[in-house]
Amino acid sequence: MSDFSVEIGPEGITREVIPRLAANMATRQRRALARYKELRDAHDLAGHRLLAYRCPRGCLLLDVFDTDDGTALYWPRHRRSDAANAGTDPKARATRTTDGDHQWIDRADTLAIMFMQTAWLNCDHVLDLHLPAAEIVARLEQVAGLPRRHADRKVIVQ
Ligand SMILES: [Zn+2]
């Protein structure tokens, strides 16, 4: 199980807790991404993939996979044009692109999906598609018990 939880006391999220939450988030994301790459390199993703969201042309938009830390999400790298970048946070661009601007790196997280509002999906053909986290959760419930490579685990988003 997860070894990077933060104890939140009765006083709630205090100023002291925030840096620990941030550090834990970074650790959690690093571990999830490392695990995804490990599975991919071992050609073992299919055995751990719960859902795969793709664009109509076949690009991977989002992988949902299982880890020892729980269900994880993986967003592949993608490129954004100047126009598409216009609404993005400059700080996010600086830290989450390889060129400081357009080439967004891949990322992963084991953040419990029920605590998320939305997963934003991107590829060369789909820009900022808003996938409500509740839809991911509902789809996970639908496919629970199906074999890992079942067709219902593949979702083409329009
Ligand atoms: Zn695409």
CA of 15 to the centre of ligand 1 (A): 41
- 11 falls within a domain: no
* Domains: count for the chain: 1
- 76 falls within a domain: yes
Domain residue limits at 144: 17-156
- 12 falls within a domain: no
- pTM of the model as a whole: 0.83
Give me the residues near ligand 1 (ion), CB cutoff below 5 Å: 55, 57, 59, 123, 125
CA of 127 to the centre of ligand 1 (A): 9
Handedness of CA 154, 61, 157, 135 (dihedral sign): positive
Per-residue pLDDT of the chain (158 residues; tens, 9 = 90+): 445 566 777 777 777 777 877 788 889 899 999 999 999 999 999 999 999 999 999 999 999 999 998 999 999 998 888 877 787 888 888 888 888 888 888 999 987 776 778 888 999 888 889 999 999 999 999 999 999 999 999 999 98
Report the amino acid identity of residue 58: G
CA of 124 to the centre of ligand 1 (A): 5
- 8 falls within a domain: no
Distance from C-alpha of 20 to C-alpha of 18, rounded to nearest angstrom: 5
